[in-house]
Amino acid sequence: MSPVYTPPTAVPDASQRPYNVDAQGVDDSFRPNGSYDQVWFGMMTGTQVAARARGIDNLPGYYDESSQEDLCPVTVFFRRGEHDLEISLEGQDQWRCAEPPLGVPDRFDTTEMADWVERAWVSLEQHRPQSETPDAPEGTSGGGSSKTPPGSG
């Protein structure tokens, strides 16, 4: 008989725990600029990131298939310890995680961001990928972000 799976839940006030946050596709004021340059925001909670991201959208040229511009979508990286999460903006206040942790939806909106990050983090801590275990074969890198912007590799 297989074990019963329980979806990850965040503890109360977990959205106040800080992460190291950096992003691409935005300037240091968190305004979309399409740049692949990494912008470091330092320690922020999921609630603080959601407040900064509320209402933003990718540059119009990002959605224009006929555009010759190579624009980076707004992509946010959350890091703590050995884990990291990468989310990308798909439209105004619409986010996607290309590799969501087990039991966490791949799409959510800005109002759900703080809770989504905490549930994703609980899942990462509970279900660490095999390649992140201490006995992983040499040369394996483990899960998480490669820091390659979506669509550029």
Calpha distance 146→153 (Å, rounded): 10
Pair of tokens at residue 111: 């109002």
Identify which of 11, 97, 107, 24 has the alpha carbon closest to the alpha carbon of residue 59: 24
Calpha distance 141→73 (Å, rounded): 25
Calpha distance 24→88 (Å, rounded): 9
Q: At what angle do helices 46-53 and 113-126 cross, to 10 degrees?
A: 140
Calpha distance 41→38 (Å, rounded): 10
CA 17 vs CA 13, 47, 70: distances in Å: 8, 9, 35
User: Who wins on pLDDT, 126 or 148?
Assistant: 126
Q: Which helix (H) or strand (E) holds 42?
A: strand 39-45
pLDDT of residue 82: 87
The pTM assigned to this predicted structure is 0.76
* pLDDT band, residue 15 (cuts 50/70/90): low
What SS3 class is residue 62? Answer: helix
pLDDT at 4 over 90: no
pLDDT of residue 81: 87
**What is the 3-state composition of the chain as percent helix, strand, coil, each rounded to the nearest 5?**
25, 25, 55
User: Who wins on pLDDT, 38 or 132?
Assistant: 38
Calpha distance 76→24 (Å, rounded): 7
